[in-house]
């Protein structure tokens, strides 16, 4: 097993970052200069991937050698957070550089308004070839508008239902696109869905963290969702086994990313990888729950974020390997790619992580929210600083306060006797909701006559049970 590398944790000024990590940035002084200095751009979103399930994040057991290698060569933001733990809205934020309140998608299966411009549109106008390989038609199909700006938008969803090892299909399609259309002035988005419920890692990854084959079989056969609908606790052995299967999915996804690295490594043009997730996953730490859509704990909100360069002339690449404990958000991803491509004039909410200074003061407050499509769950909001957090579910009159610096696992709710600064944070959150009320977000199903039984059953198969 790889041991986590010992590395410095640093706070960086971003003007240093670009030169230090050796990321080629397009310059437009002349066509020849631009051609030679523009990297291929690759966005990898690992759906449902927890920030702490990485060797490079210090996890003592999870094997992610390829992602660790990317982190060693590049930059790993350890404090990256998602704005919403729902696949369709979170990917809309990643691709548009806008928060859910700004682009308007607050639930799964909503459609991106036509007025919202996306990163691939900006890149296409700058002469980039753009492609997407997406692993879930149910929540990322073209009907939701996230295909906007892509020359090609390939859905890799052979069964339309969760399948074991389906990341291999996305990998093959992505490698084919890279061989066909990659290189300078190309942008590819690859989305993997394997770590999402139900956890069905392929062989041999399914036994990486469970030595007993019978335990693997029992865990895979168990109806986890039925267990969670019951009010009682699941037995500890099953929780451990399901968590091990989730970890196996993580390691399988690491293998898939490795196949993309192998495709990019021999190319003369370097490829800049940005690897992240749309949200994390709760593994029964809170409220007897596996999943991500109804809770705003750090397990759901924190995501990996690694930028790293692969291929090209290795002598031109300065040493990377930086863990950055600066705030970073998924809304920062589109402006960071725009910066790498030398695209200016685009309007994003986020910052270019490689060039713009990190936020300070009030700008360090991040709002997250969720609007689950379940009968028994209601909208929930969170306001987070680098050290503290408030969670508020107004309809349930639930408020939780955490000191993340002292209690990163959010075990000690301080709401019964809150410190004054946490009360202020809670007031800020409630004021924010009053100032910016949400209407009634409507999915394409609700706008078109209701959820069909096919869609309902597909959602249920992914753990979005009522």
Q: Using CA atoms, how far apart are residues 158 and 175, in angstroms rounded to an integer?
A: 17
Which residue lies nearer to Zn ion by CB, 87 or 93? Answer: 87
Shortest spacing between CB 278 and Zn ion, in angstroms = 4
Rule CB under 5 A: which residues touch Zn ion?
47, 87, 278
Structure tokens at 186: 């190309």
Please name the residues in contact with 148: beta carbons below 8 A apart, sequence gap of 6 or more: 112, 118, 120, 121
Beta-strand relationship, 380-384 and 75-81: unpaired
Shortest spacing between CB 140 and Zn ion, in angstroms = 9
Please name the residues in contact with 348: beta carbons below 8 A apart, sequence gap of 6 or more: 96, 97, 98, 331, 334, 335, 338
Which residue lies nearer to Zn ion by CB, 81 or 126? Answer: 81
Shortest spacing between CB 1 and Zn ion, in angstroms = 28
Shortest spacing between CB 28 and Zn ion, in angstroms = 36
Please name the residues in contact with 316: beta carbons below 8 A apart, sequence gap of 6 or more: 22
Q: Using CA atoms, how far apart are residues 258 and 64, in angstroms rounded to an integer?
A: 10
Which residue lies nearer to Zn ion by CB, 47 or 400? Answer: 47
Which residue lies nearer to Zn ion by CB, 47 or 332? Answer: 47
Shortest spacing between CB 47 and Zn ion, in angstroms = 4
Question: What's the order of all strands across the beta sheet hosting 40-46?
Answer: 9-10, 322-329, 75-81, 305-310, 271-276, 40-46, 186-192, 129-134, 152-155
Which residue lies nearer to Zn ion by CB, 95 or 401? Answer: 95
Shortest spacing between CB 381 and Zn ion, in angstroms = 19
Which residue lies nearer to Zn ion by CB, 87 or 271? Answer: 87
Which residue lies nearer to Zn ion by CB, 86 or 219? Answer: 86
Question: 70 and 261 in contact (C-beta within 8 Å)?
Answer: yes
- Cα-flanking dihedrals φ and ψ of residue 143, to 5°? -65, -15
Shortest spacing between CB 45 and Zn ion, in angstroms = 8
Structure tokens at 215: 């335990």
Residue nearest to Zn ion (CB): 87
Which residue lies nearer to Zn ion by CB, 249 or 278? Answer: 278
> Closest Cα to residue 340, out of 67, 15, 18?
18
Shortest spacing between CB 48 and Zn ion, in angstroms = 5
Q: Is 458 left (phi over 0), alpha (psi -120 to 50) or beta?
A: alpha
């Amino acid at each position: 097993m790889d041991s986590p590398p010992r590395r410095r944790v640093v706070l960086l000024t971003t003007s240093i970052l670009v030169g230090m990590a050796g990321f080629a940035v397009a310059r437009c002084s002349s066509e020849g200069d631009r051609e030679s200095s523009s990297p291929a751009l690759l966005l990898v979103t690992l759906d449902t991937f927890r920030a702490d399930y990485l060797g490079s994040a210090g996890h003592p057991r999870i094997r992610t050698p390829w992602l660790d290698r990317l982190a060693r060569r590049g930059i790993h933001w350890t404090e990256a957070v998602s704005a919403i733990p729902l696949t369709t809205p979170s990917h809309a934020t990643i691709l548009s550089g806008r928060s859910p309140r700004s682009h308007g998608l607050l639930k799964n299966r909503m459609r991106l308004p036509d007025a919202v411009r996306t990163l691939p549109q900006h890149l296409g106008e700058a002469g980039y070839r753009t492609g997407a390989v997406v692993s879930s038609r149910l929540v990322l199909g073209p009907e939701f508008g996230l295909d906007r700006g892509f020359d090609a938008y390939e859905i890799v969803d052979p069964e339309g239902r969760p399948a074991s090892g389906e990341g291999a299909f996305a990998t093959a399609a992505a490698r084919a696109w890279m061989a066909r259309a990659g290189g300078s002035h190309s942008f590819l988005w690859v989305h993997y869905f394997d770590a999402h419920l139900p956890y069905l890692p392929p062989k041999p990854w399914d036994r990486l963290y469970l030595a007993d084959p019978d335990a693997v079989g029992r865990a895979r056969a168990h109806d986890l969702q039925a267990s969670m609908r019951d009010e009682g606790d699941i037995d500890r052995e099953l929780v451990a086994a399901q968590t091990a299967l989730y970890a196996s999915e993580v390691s399988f996804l690491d293998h898939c990313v490795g196949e993309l690295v192998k495709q990019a490594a021999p190319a003369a043009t370097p490829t800049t990888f940005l690897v992240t997730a749309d949200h994390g996953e709760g593994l029964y730490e809170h409220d007897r729950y596996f999943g991500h859509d109804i809770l705003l704990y750090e397990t759901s909100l924190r995501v990996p974020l690694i930028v790293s360069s692969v291929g090209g002339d290795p002598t031109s690449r300065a040493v990377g390997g930086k863990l950055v404990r600066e705030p970073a958000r998924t809304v920062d991803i589109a402006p960071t790619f725009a910066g790498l491509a030398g695209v200016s004039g685009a309007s994003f909410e986020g910052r270019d992580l490689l060039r713009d200074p990190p936020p300070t003061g009030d700008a360090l407050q991040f709002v997250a929210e969720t609007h689950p499509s379940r009968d028994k769950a209601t909208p929930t909001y969170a306001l987070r600083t680098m050290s503290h957090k408030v969670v508020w579910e107004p309809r349930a009159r639930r408020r939780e306060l955490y000191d993340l610096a002292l209690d990163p696992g959010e075990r000690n709710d301080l709401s019964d006797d809150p410190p004054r600064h946490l009360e202020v944070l809670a007031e800020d959150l409630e004021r924010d909701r009053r100032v910016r009320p949400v209407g009634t977000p409507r999915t394409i199903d609700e706008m078109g006559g209701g959820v069909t039984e096919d869609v309902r059953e597909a959602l249920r198969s992914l753990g979005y049970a009522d």
